[in-house]
Amino acid sequence: MHVLLCLVCVFSLFGQYRLTPLPQDEHDQSIHATKPAQNDLSMATKYLQHFYSFQADPAGRRRRSRPSFSSKLKDMQSFFGLNRTGTLNPATLIVMRTPRCGVSDVEDYSHRRGNKWKKNLITYGVGQYTGHLPVNIVDSLISSALDVWAKASPLTFLRSYSHEADIMVEFVRNDHGDSFPFDGPEGTLAHAYGPGAGIGGDVHFDEAESWTVGSKGFNLYLVAAHEFGHALGLKHSQNPESVMYPTYKNRKTYNVLSSEDIININTLYGPRNKRPSPSSRFIWSYPSDPWHSGSNFPVSLKETCNPDLTFDAVTTVGEALFFFRDKYLWIKHNNQNDIKEGPISNFMPNVDCKIDAAYWVPQRATAYLFNGTVFWTVKGSQVKSRARNIRTFGFPSWVQHIDAAVHIHRTAHTLFFTEHLYWRYNEHYKSMNDSSPRNISEDFPGINGPINAAVYKDGSLHFFVGSDVYKYDTKQKEIIGVYKTMSWLGC
């Protein structure tokens, strides 16, 4: 194949007709005149063409330069640990009919070392859903299948509601526009493309199949975990315990990855960044520069979280929360305490500076990052334009710094805070409110600037002021809770 294509899991029913072992002398000739043997030969030829690059010659013509059917059959038998007879014996035919992934078993990925994602923050989205499972169940299974790889690597997967996500998941039927049509029930289950632009990384599941969460039908979680391995650049494994083994089986749904899978994903992307245990949280070295430790990153000590922790910027991005401090970033998913962290440039290669403020517009699946008088627009982890001046929003020239920004999607307004003032910006009309700026304390009683960061979550505004976070009810115009900043990292 010319791309890392995983036409995952070509599944056939066992026992559609009973195999009758051929006499040894006739079997060694590979072909028998009976109809079942002709069906076997036709099926085997297609199998070797698809998975072992066998090129069949036109009828009546032979080319000695091409590998023979028998030699390709031996390659297949060798891959699956069968006796290399070069003949269609019953054991070989059984493997050929066993549910499996559709990517070539002889595809050599070693010459495609560059064919991996050149970033650690990878977006994914679900386009068309299956009718076999509820939407929330599909979302959960897809997220869990990606999390299998996230827990074993430095990769972070961020849900996007844009069709421009790095990995797009679709449930489709028959011919669906990519030159690899599906073939109906119990045939090709799915296919995936290796890392790259456009269709690269996308995963298509055949909607004609019976997708389930258990042992009946086809377990979506298990197939998806395999497919996402290909979408990240992994090849097939000859180890039956590997999730990347070509044939489908109802393996355990916990600890899905084998040690080999973990080694292979680490070979591509490096090991997972180790985090302190719950009893070994982050604390900064005081009284000197809190980031002074011979590097630009926090010092991990066996202490509880520092009660004086502050952030420069906080924003939602899809279903995740991003926390910025200097050139460091924490990413927290779905209120879970499993947090990915590291230098901002690890997740966004083109961003190598402190972020003063940030906000996310879900309708555009776009984040806006601010530093001084400039800002960038970011989709996924890709900076979509050169730095632009904040005056394009309508700020006067005397504004040299944005302290915080927050987008309220229900009103389509973004609030910008600087010192003791705030501006209200209409994202739909791309213009500042005529009454801007206004005094923060007048419109948000109890909140006094300057504000470090702000985020709109679960129907409330959250203002980060120093090491405290104020939960604010915008309807009642009052503070309804006060928390420590460190609690947002699970401390």
Q: Which residues are annotated as a binding site?
A: 101, 166, 176, 178, 183-184, 191, 200, 202, 204, 206, 209, 226, 230, 236, 244, 312, 356, 358, 405
Determine what percent of the chain falls in helix, strand and coil, rounding each to the nearest 5: 20, 25, 55
> Six-digit token pair at 47?
């199998």
**In 413-437, which positions are buried (b, 16+ CB within 10 angstroms) versus exposed (e)?**
bbbbbbeebbbbbebeeeebeeebb
Burial (CB < 10 A; 0-12, 13-18, 19+), residue 353, is middle
Q: Are 100 and 189 in contact (CB under 8 A)?
A: no
Contacts of 154 (CB under 8 A, 6+ apart): 120, 269, 270, 271, 272, 273, 340, 342, 346
Asked if the bond preceding 67 is cis, omega within 30° of 0, the reply is no
Secondary structure class of 259 (helix, strand, coil): helix
Q: What DSSP element (H or E) covers 103?
A: none
**What end-to-end distance do the CA atoms of the chain give, in Å?**
49
In Å, the largest CA–CA distance within the chain is 95
Contact between 334 and 321 (Cβ < 8 Å) = no
Q: Give the chain's count of helices (H) and strands (E).
A: 9, 27
User: How many whole angstroms separate alpha carbon 53 and alpha carbon 66?
Assistant: 11
In terms of Cα–Cα distance, which of 387, 422, 169, 403 is closest to 378? 387
- Tell me, yes or no, if 164 is annotated catalytic: no
Residue type, 453: A
Instruction: Residue 10: name the closest of 193, 231, 222, 247 by CA.
Output: 247
Neighbours of 181 (CB within 10 A): 14
Which one-letter DSSP state was computed for residue 287? S
**Residue 489, token pair as written in the block:** 């990292």
Considering only CA atoms, which of 264, 219, 202 is closest in space to residue 9? 219
Annotated binding site for Zn(2+): 101, 176, 178, 191, 204, 226, 230, 236, 244
Residue (of 331, 329, 357, 367) closest to 345 by Cα position: 329
Which entry of 107, 207, 227, 341 is annotated as an active-site residue? 227
Using alpha carbons, select from 341, 319, 346, 316 the residue that is nearest to residue 331.
341
The annotation places the binding site for Ca(2+) at: 166, 183-184, 200, 202, 206, 209, 312, 356, 358, 405
- Concatenated DSSP letters of 343-402: EHHHHSTT--S--SEEEEETTTTEEEEEETTEEEEEETTEE-S--EEGGGGT--TT----
- Catalytic positions are 227
